[in-house]
Amino acid sequence: MYLPRSLISKLYSHLQNTRHPLSPPVLLLVALEPDALCACRILTRLLKHDYIPHKIQPVAGYGDLERVGRDLVSPMMETQGGAGGVVVCLGVGGMVDLGTVLGLEPEGEESTFGGVEVWVIDSHRPWNLGNVFGGFPLEPETEDAKTYQARTPAGVSAGRIDRAYKPGKGGIIVFDDGDIEDDLGPQKDAYMALVEMPDIEDDGQDLDDSDSESESEDEDVRGSAPRAGQKRKSWSGQDDDESEDEDEDRPRQRRRSNSVRIFDKLAISKFHTC
């Protein structure tokens, strides 16, 4: 999901109104870069002013981000025994699938994010489209809600957060600085078309056997029909035989010429002796 600039204060206002001293601290994942460090200083001043507990965790690369997700973020999930909470990524996470890297979308499980809400404030490009237009827990599937759009949480339209959105269920929220709505229109349409495509079901046919049978049939057809390479090979073989015959004839001619020369020499010598 992404938060447009017109609603930039919506999430922080909700955090300010719902947090208390006993709430789990906000986890700040900060990249070791000047922009991220400056943003961390500004955000911590706001959190201290509003008496919101927080914790700062430096992140040195995406490998370190995956380790932090495994050790600190995943235990925050309600399905893992945690109480949920807010994770803020400053200068990191915009280019990767955070749901997978942080362990918030386990494979084979219906319940995702577990009440953990991840805010992404990152200037690195390109954006990961899964974070921008996806990254939210789907509503339970019913007879009336079977498609991706129908199972989207209330207040989210094609990944865009509206005023009706209510935080608290978790998800990935990217703070838009203007380039998402202005520049990623075609990417949004393509992404939504892909997620709406039905899954390909296996009808039980073994495609490998059919491929092997077709390959064997092709080999039989190629074996029965004369190939151009074979024809050229036979021609080349005939040419080789003819050339060998000519070579055999040529030495004979040379031998005859040598014998003539010998005879000429003999005749000349006899003529001189006479």
141-166, pLDDT tens digit by residue? 777 777 777 888 889 998 999 999 99
- Beta-carbon contacts of 125 under 8 Å, excluding residues fewer than 6 positions away, are 94, 95
Q: CA-based angle 66:51:116, to the nearest 5?
A: 30
CATH class of 2-196: alpha beta
**pLDDT above 70: percentage of residues in the chain:** 73
Show me where the domains of the chain are located.
2-196
Residue 212's pLDDT band (boundaries 50, 70, 90)? low
Average pLDDT for 102-116: 86
